[in-house]
Structure 1
């Protein structure tokens, strides 16, 4: 599976700005600087830009803030841009609007008057002279896409600071790996890195995990290092109040309200699978805690947003399987390459990793084939756009009937159902030992507990054969 960047392929650029001179500045600079074929399209019309983005993919997209109607117009273009590296251009004085579009997903805000040379130099670094990113270089994060190179650059920039970092992204995108990378590149890298799985603990257990007794809590163990609060989307108000006080003063409040004597020096990192702003909009998180955690923000792209990284990730996982598990697999057949590249990966990198591990453990050989991928479950829970399974209630008895469906649609399962089956099979394979099952699945035991709890109610009606305790 090839993973090299092909300089012979054309770099596709779309410039959207009602000012023709601004477009010319960027176009001339790119043509003079970029040493590979270029396809540069430009338009002054946001309507035309929408049509162009709907019809083809671009590597780079620049959007003039006024042309697209301000920050409120950006989300639509962000969605249409798909895997494009998007830059928003506007006046330097519009700081609040610049922050808004970057938090909404823009790669950066480019100030006007435009410096075409500086912009072209940045694009050159991203697409022409960028080195391959290896597993060792970024603590397990793998990627050669422009989005991941931007992420690696962000990690390098935020790591030296001491301010909290809020990391968002879908499940399985590598948020904890990102946090570990930040810690490893920070001045605290010789200090401890402690993780607390907030989603798996109730209020009292989480308070005890953080504060502990006699200096045994996570906050004390992380003193001089970093503490990762994993999945802060559902923190109890009492825990939120405790964290606010800790961030303000370095003081730790115990479970019974007592202030523990030692003042601590801990950098907080937090993750959520939700949009950070949604936590405060829905009232899930206190405003004072949100703004204290949301000092530096990073968003991990979903795997479907960076399809060019699927190959390098798959190869890195396969190599790790060979090194750690003694398997002989070393490459993918062309049909297998096509299969994994065309799949949407709703479970992101974690789903890809788990699939390859299953294949490596259950098969022999040197080449992974498309048949192995299919037998391991690739695509069985892919959402169908033409024929989906839709439970409907019929009659007074409330029995569930199913709409007519194609044979392919009949095999479609919800992702949570497939996850539940895989988890239970792993637990059974290790005679009920959840720690060993978690190690085999490359997830934490707390993730197994959390997922079993979250699917139990749904499985009660839809999947009675799966055991949940």
Structure 2
């Protein structure tokens, strides 16, 4: 194979990407493999369409160099089949007998580019660079649209917020698993994303799995992927290859899935549901919970080996009530976010409004504050949010009536009083949301599963 000299030596100790070369000529496969490995890429080889399918079932690849003319199934036919299933990695076609019509057909089917043999090394490397960069930018754009967040870091000047940021930055330098604990709505996902952004895996994907939102029969497929009748579905673990997998409410996983997860991560490989061949994965796990995992473990609901594996680096995300001085900054960030994302008119929160917020207990934490700001931006009028508006939105506008209550209204223990308040608070939001559990859970700042438990404990019908 004739190849011109490379533009420059780009060798690196870091594996840049995983490239699959599909070509029936052994000399071309091996020459390309040697060159690309010198450039820092990890290279997989296939001599036919059937071998290429087998490799893609076993490994996640970032780019395919696909020859058009091969014995048996040719490259265009294979490309058509991949396109019908949803083309995932970018494909660059190669041919020594290329025509304009063939190149046009390949690009219509989704191929990124077409290069002719004998291959020019400069052009080949440049095409690979551009294809990988285009795929990265496309995925980044999808992620940004799907994961647009009002807060990208544990914001605030409080000691609690500053301490959490320092801990996350320190832990990010290692590759240890991390367990984030804290009450619902306190910002555990924000903390996980901040940790990922400051880690060596920052250029890799950040993939989240909300265990509480997935029914038990489906969680294995979501996590490990599946193979059925030639169709391959990549699970969250594969999607997070060379990046971070964030598992929210990991205690909601059943014991069998916990065991399978631990085994996959310790061995660095997994088996898809219905698959026979193990797939290699390199993933860092950041898990989150609002429960006491030690108590869950002692009750037999959480695996002991997984608990101790996660608990190597435990970090606690503080409740909003522990960092009240951060409320003005968070409010400003939410106002800016909803203005940019939804076009909501910015409004200034008056000192009286911020004062009311600073004394509210925030049972739903940062999530409840975010929902409140959005609601006030949508429903309120005028350039400024008053203290009275905040009180009404929080259901605190009946404080004057409290002074007229009979003394027996204040009898009983604090727990009884708290239960009465929680019951009234949840019933109010249930009524306001027409009995819809999902919207009520969001409004009060609870995960849906925890709201169900609260309804049951308070005897509220649903």
Q: Which stretch shifts more, 275-284 or 147-156?
A: 275-284
Q: Which of 218, 221, 243 is matched with 2:239 structurally? A: 221
Question: SS at the partner of 1:269?
Answer: strand
Does 2:248 match 1:230? yes
Kindly indicate whether residue 335 of structure 2 is the aligned counterpart of residue 318 of structure 1.
yes
Q: Where does residue 306 of structure 2 map in the other structure? A: 289
Pick aligned residue for 1:204 from 217, 227, 230:
217
Deviations 1:52-82 (A, max 9, x none): xxxxxxxxxxxxxxxxxxxxxxxxxxxxxxx
Shift of 1:376: 0.8
1:240 aligns with 2:253: no
**Aligned counterpart for 2:358 among listed residues 341, 356, 371:** 341
1:93-104 to structure 2, matched below 5 A, reads none
Check if 1:188 corresponds to 2:205.
no
| 1:157 paired residue number | 170
Q: Deviations over 1:401-421 (max 9, x none)?
A: xx6459xx9999655764676
TM-aligned CA distance change 1:225 to 1:291, over 3 Å:
same
2:262 matched to 1:249? no
C-alpha contact (below 8 Å) 1:354/1:441 kept by paired residues = yes
State the superposition RMSD in angstroms: 4.1
Measured after TM superposition, the shift of residue 202 of structure 1 is 3.4
My pick for the range that moved more, 247-256 or 449-458, is 449-458
Q: Secondary structure at the match of 2:155?
A: coil
Q: CA deviation at 1:360?
A: 1.1
CA drift of 1:422 comes to 4.4
Q: Tell whether the 8 Å contact from 1:167 to 1:299 is kept in structure 2 after alignment.
A: yes
Aligned counterpart, 1:264: 281
CA–CA distance in structure 2, aligned partners of residues 169 and 457 of structure 1:
22
> Residue by residue, what CA displacement relative to the aligned partner does 1:153-192 show, whole Å, maximum 9, x if unpaired?
1111111322111111111110011111111222222222
Partner SS, residue 183 of structure 2: coil
Alpha-carbon distance change, 424 to 229 in structure 1, aligned in 2, over 3 angstroms: farther
Gaps of 5+ in 1: 1-134, 390-402
Give the whole-Å Cα distance in 1 for the aligned partners of 2:213 and 2:368. Answer: 21
| Counterpart position of 1:330 | 347
How many Å separate the matches in 2 of 1:315 and 1:284?
41
1:204 CA drift (Å)? 2.1
Which residue of structure 2 aligns with residue 300 of structure 1?
Answer: 317
SS at match of 2:369: helix
Q: Distance in 2 between matches of 1:198 and 1:367?
A: 40
Return the TM-score normalized by structure 2.
Answer: 0.56
Q: Against the structure 1 CA distance between its residues 174 and 418, is the aligned structure 2 distance closer, same or farther, given a 3 Å change threshold?
A: same
> CA separation in 2, counterparts of 1:180 and 1:201?
21
C-alpha displacement of 1:145: 0.8
What residue number does 1:173 align with? 186
Deviation string for 1:72-128 (max 9, x for gaps)? xxxxxxxxxxxxxxxxxxxxxxxxxxxxxxxxxxxxxxxxxxxxxxxxxxxxxxxxx
Number of residue-to-residue matches in the alignment: 304
> Cα deviations across residues 293-350 of structure 1 (Å, max 9, x unaligned)?
1222211111111121122212222232333333334322222121111122121111
TM-score norm. by structure 1 comes to 0.56
CA contact (8 A) 1:215 1:221 kept: no
Q: CA deviation at 1:141?
A: 2.4
Q: Which runs of 5 or more residues in structure 2 are unaligned?
A: 1-147, 227-231
| Conserved 8 A contact 2:245-2:286 | yes
Q: Does residue 145 of the first structure (1) align with residue 158 of the second (2)?
A: yes
Taking a change above 3 Å as real, the CA distance of residues 266 and 358 of structure 1, as seen in their structure-2 partners, is same
- Deviation of 1:284 after TM superposition, in Å, equals 2.8
What secondary structure sits across from 1:359 in the alignment? helix
Q: Residues 324 and 418 (structure 1 numbering): CA distance in 2 closer, same or farther, change over 3 Å?
A: farther
Match of 2:386 among 330, 349, 369: 369
- Alpha-carbon shift at residue 224 of structure 1 (Å): 1.5
